Structure formats: C-alpha cells, structure tokens
Amino acid sequence: MRLTFGPIFGLLLAFSTLAQARTEIHTTDDFAKITQEILALANDERAEEILVAFDIDKTLLIVQDCLPEGESKGFAGWLKMANRCPAELTEKEVPAHIAALQKKGFPTLALTARAVNLMKATERELTRNGIVFNGNPFDAAADFNVKFPKGEDLVFKEGVTYAAGRNKGFILQQFQERQSRPFKKVIFVDDAIKNIRHMDKTYTADPDVTVIIYHYNRYE
C-alpha cells in the first residue's frame, strides 16, 4: 500500500518507527480513498479481525448552525448546536462507504469525543443521515458503561463509543478489552491531530496490534 503522509506527521511517524510499532499514518480528504484501501485489505486478511473506528464530527457529519445569531459561539454554543440543529454528511456517499465495509465483514463503530449528554442527538442525526453502526458483531449486546473516578462515564451504545473528551487511544483499548476475540488490526479515521497523536502513542506500546490511521482533513 502506498503511504501518503502530511508534513505535520514526520516527527510523529519517526517516533513510531523507532519504537518499532506497526503504525501507518495517512492524510486524505477523500472518503472513497479510505474505503477502497480498507476493502483491499480483505484480499489478504480476514475482514472480521480488522476493527474500523470512525470519528463523527468533521469526519462523518458536520453540525449546521440553526441558532439565533450569537448563540453558537464557543464550546457552549457548539453543544447547543449539536443538541438542537441538524447535521449534514461530510460527503454524500459516506453511508454507502460504511455499508460497503460492513457488508464485506469489517466490524465498524463510531468513536466520538462527545459525551452521553449528546447521545440522543447523535443517534438522531446518524439515523437521519443513513449511517448505521448498531448491526455490528460485537459481544453481548456490547453496550457498556465504565465509571471513572472523575468526569464523564465511558459509554458504548448502538455502535457508538462516547469518549467524553478522553484519550481516544485509551478508550479504544478499553473497548477491545471487552471483546472476547482480539482484533489484529485497527483502522482509525479522525480529523483532529490530537486524537491521531493519542491513538498513535497508545498503540505504539502494543506490538500485537497493527494500526492504520487516516487523518481526514477535508474540513480542517
């Protein structure tokens, strides 16, 4: 597979290589390219052993501003928007791409920085836009709620993991630990540099899992 790296990842990739982690980082603004490269993996590997995790905001969906002028400012304003306003697809074919991966046998989920207070709105907009994650073959109605000493709980429900702003690498490992079967490879798609760094750093320490990270930069 040909790798395409953005310059911002040079030092990050060098760190991963020195640590002998099996991590690849790609940069693209084309969801079709991501899907094609993931589907190609099934030619040589078992799709069911490859976990594919998608961020939501600016990766799958873009929240529209439907609030009165001035109310959408800052993080508090964005929370109001996410709760009340419709979201549109980042690319119109996103639902078809995700469905194609699922049809091929890839376990897929959403891994969002959102907290559970946005669960209802998140489920509403994913459904309205035709994105479905809850038919995936995870364990035992794989819903779980992990209590932390401080801050928000970690919740996985209907195919969506609500990370509540926590390190997504750590959160995905928590999810994997609750599955009876191991995943040999993880594919992670996100628009945020911070989340990509967290994922890379987390899995650098895990020699048993190969990680392919896509920095989706269409809406930076």
Q: Three-class SS of residue 198?
A: helix
CA distances (Å), 51 to each of 10, 18, 165, in order? Answer: 25, 25, 21
Q: Three-class SS of residue 114?
A: coil
Q: Three-class SS of residue 104?
A: helix
* Range of weakest confidence among 25-29, 139-143, 158-162, 214-218: 139-143
Q: What is the pLDDT of residue 83?
A: 93
Instruction: Evaluate if pTM is beyond 0.95.
Output: no
Q: Which domains does the chain possess?
A: 7-62+88-216 (3.40.50.1000)
Average pLDDT over residues 116-121: 94
184 Cβ partners below 8 Å, 6+ apart?
Answer: 45, 49, 50, 208, 209, 210
Give residue-wise pLDDT tens across range 82-95: 999 999 999 999 99
- pLDDT of 208 > 90? The answer is no
Parallel, antiparallel, or unpaired for β 160-162 and 108-112?
A: parallel
> Could you give the angle at which helices 119-128 and 74-84 cross, rounded to 10 degrees?
50
Give residue-wise pLDDT tens across range 95-117: 999 999 999 999 999 999 999 89
Residue type, 124: R
Of residues 171 and 130, the one with the higher pLDDT is 130
